[in-house]
């Protein structure tokens, strides 16, 4: 077994504190009863590693690496507290399972269910091929239902996820999508904002107080990406700053998705409404609209429908790219269509 502790480093700017030897994380390293296999993610607060216990069962270990090299407690209790609240109420099939928080070699880490079938971004790209045009409508609605059920559970126990996006939705071995990362989830209403700017709601972009409807807007962006393969507020090569500006200025999605049935368009319109009074208010309302949309679709999409959807998807991206060029040139040639 390799030692977790290597390479002592002095920390000069922490005057008066004794530096710790800096742990090195890598394959084969042991953290308590877990053995690390490979790093599968990294964020602002730490790293996520695939690991396994003595029985061979796999887990995702979310390690707080802010502590590395410092004799101070940098542990962020937010995610632990949020997961504890979820599990205390029985958990949910569309939220990643949480098994507790442990400490080893001076490191604190959360032990989570290991999901190995990729995140929603990868799934969208896989279905779309080289020229992504999104998922088949029935499949997109199925996935939206799963995500909405998990999100609705969070809202029922008083939490806003606060960072809904395809990267924070992963698939388990049974094909069920699950919400992950409760690191910035919080009770609502929220006045301090976190998350990913290009998935902000208009009120969040304006630094106003937010509630569960901000999650619903971000879910609307995610659903739009599922069925179109692109972000609703982005043109070709748009930066995150420009996308955020489009959201903040309450610019509606630039073009219709031509092959989208009326019921799905109404669902998107309700989720992406910039005005809070017009936006869908709850996940229960989303589920009811999913029911209507599913009833309006054939049980299986025909070959010509799939081809037509791809043709319209390509045309949509071409037209959106032209619009983005015109918009950058500040030349108002036509008004953007709404959903």
Same domain for 124 and 109, yes or no, is no
Domain of 92, in residue numbers: 5-113
In a domain, 333, yes or no: no
Same domain for 278 and 186, yes or no, is yes
Over residues 143-161, the pLDDT tens digits come to 999 999 999 999 999 999 9
pLDDT surpasses 50 at 94: yes
Per cent of the chain over pLDDT 90 is 57
pLDDT (average), residues 35-45: 87
Same domain for 163 and 286, yes or no, is yes
Same domain for 92 and 177, yes or no, is no
In a domain, 334, yes or no: no
> Which parts are annotated binding residues for ATP?
62
pLDDT (average), residues 107-134: 83
- Does residue 72 or residue 75 have the better pLDDT? 75
Residue 73: the pLDDT is: 42
Same domain for 93 and 170, yes or no, is no
Q: Domain boundary at 69, 95, 113, which?
A: 113
Over residues 41-56, the pLDDT tens digits come to 887 668 999 999 999 9
Same domain for 133 and 261, yes or no, is yes
Over residues 290-300, the pLDDT tens digits come to 999 999 998 75
Same domain for 15 and 154, yes or no, is no
Q: Domain boundary at 113, 133, 168, which?
A: 113
What lies within 8 Å, CB to CB, of 158 at 6+ separation is 187, 188
- Does residue 28 or residue 134 have the better pLDDT? 28
> Which parts are annotated binding residues?
62
pLDDT (average), residues 274-282: 96
In a domain, 103, yes or no: yes
Enter the pTM of the model: 0.79
pLDDT (average), residues 239-252: 90
In a domain, 336, yes or no: no
pLDDT surpasses 70 at 311: no
CATH number for the domain including 223? 1.10.510.10
Same domain for 52 and 152, yes or no, is no
pLDDT surpasses 70 at 336: no
Residue 304: the pLDDT is: 46
Residue 298: the pLDDT is: 83
CATH number for the domain including 58? 3.30.200.20
């Amino acid at each position: 077994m390799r030692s977790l502790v290597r390479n002592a480093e002095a920390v000069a700017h922490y005057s008066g504190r004794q530096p710790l030897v800096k742990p090195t994380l890598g394959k084969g390293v042991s953290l308590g009863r877990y053995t690390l296999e490979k790093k599968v993610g990294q964020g602002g607060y730490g790293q996520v590693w695939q690991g396994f216990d003595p029985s061979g069962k796999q887990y995702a270990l979310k390690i707080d690496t802010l502590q590395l090299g410092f004799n101070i407690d940098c542990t962020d209790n937010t995610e632990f507290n949020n997961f504890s609240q979820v599990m205390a109420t029985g958990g949910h099939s569309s939220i990643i399972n949480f098994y507790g928080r442990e400490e080893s070699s001076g490191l604190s880490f959360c032990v989570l269910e290991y999901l190995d079938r990729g995140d929603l971004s990868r799934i969208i790209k896989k279905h779309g091929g080289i020229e992504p045009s999104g998922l088949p409508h029935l499949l997109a609605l199925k996935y939206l239902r799963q995500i909405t059920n998990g999100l609705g559970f969070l809202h029922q126990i008083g939490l806003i996820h606060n960072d809904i996006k395809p990267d924070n939705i992963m698939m388990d071995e049974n094909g069920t999508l699950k919400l992950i990362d409760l690191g910035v989830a919080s009770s609502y209403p929220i006045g301090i904002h976190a998350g990913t700017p290009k998935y902000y709601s208009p009120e969040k972009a304006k630094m106003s107080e937010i509630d569960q409807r901000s999650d619903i807007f971000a879910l609307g962006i995610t659903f739009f990406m599922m069925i179109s393969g692109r972000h609703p507020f982005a043109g070709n090569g748009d930066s995150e700053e420009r996308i955020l500006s489009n959201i903040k200025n309450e610019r509606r999605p630039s073009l219709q998705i031509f092959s989208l049935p009326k019921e799905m368009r109404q669902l998107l319109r309700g989720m992406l409404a910039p005005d809070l009074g017009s936006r869908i208010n709850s996940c229960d309302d989303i589920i009811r609209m999913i029911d209507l949309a599913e009833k309006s679709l054939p049980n299986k999409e025909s070959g010509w429908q799939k081809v037509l959807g791809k043709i319209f998807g390509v045309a949509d991206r071409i037209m959106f790219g032209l619009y983005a060029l015109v918009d950058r040139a500040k030349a108002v040639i036509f008004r953007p269509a709404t959903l």
